[in-house]
Chains A and B, each alone.
Chain A
Amino acid sequence: RKEVEQDPGPFNVPEGATVAFNCTYSNSASQSFFWYRQDCRKEPKLLMSVYSSGNEDGRFTAQLNRASQYISLLIRDSKLSDSATYLCVVISLNTDKLIFGTGTRLQVFP
């Protein structure tokens, strides 16, 4: 089993829709969590960190569920420009390494 797993998608949603992705992690000692965004054939860029209490940045909300060992990313009022691959990143307390998920692809259509 992979240490970090994401549904590869694609998630095809119309403009204005709300969409959510989950990312599960297998190591219960994982301590830090992030979402990165990667556009086609471009480099990944940090979208937001995920805090234990949940956090929001404009239309984006990130949440952590330690009991079920997953993090989520919710995007409200989807824009065409949100079309990208969203990478989940987990840092393990045991290994102190960044583990990247394989990404979830989002396609927003008009």
Chain B
Amino acid sequence: NAGVTQTPKFQVLKTGQSMTLQCAQDMNHNSMYWYRQDPGMGLRLIYYSASEGTTDKGEVPNGYNVSRLNKREFSLRLESAAPSQTSVYFCASSELRGETNEKLFFGSGTQLSVL
């Protein structure tokens, strides 16, 4: 039982490049989330998905797209990376529907640097 698995762990991009962060959970959770964590800012929600086939914007969605491929997988895409997107990205899942929930299970994070 792996929980929440996200890849890659590290990535360096040049400005304008694109990439997709992958996330999968094996806990049969309905809700999945993408957060970014920056020094002094705390965790901020980028996008979330309350169930398969639905996605909604969070606090900082600009510059990102998401895809809930199936119940297990929720990917985050940067179409044209910018230095402001340098951050640590966390995927999370929860058994409860909706954006708010109590117990979030987080992936191990992706450290992304955009040069």
Contact = CB atoms under 8 A, between A and B. Distances in A.
Interface of A: 4, 8, 32, 34, 41-46, 49, 87, 91, 96-103
Contacts, number: 46
Interface residues of B, number: 19
Say whether chain B's binding surface is mostly helix, strand, loop, or mixed: loop
Given A43-B90, A46-B104, A102 B99 contact: no
B108 interface: yes
B102 A43 contact: no
A58 B55 CA distance: 39
Interface of B: 40-45, 59, 90, 98-104, 106-109
Chain A: interface secondary structure? strand
B42 A101 contact: yes
Contacts of A99: 42
A73 to B, nearest CB: 16
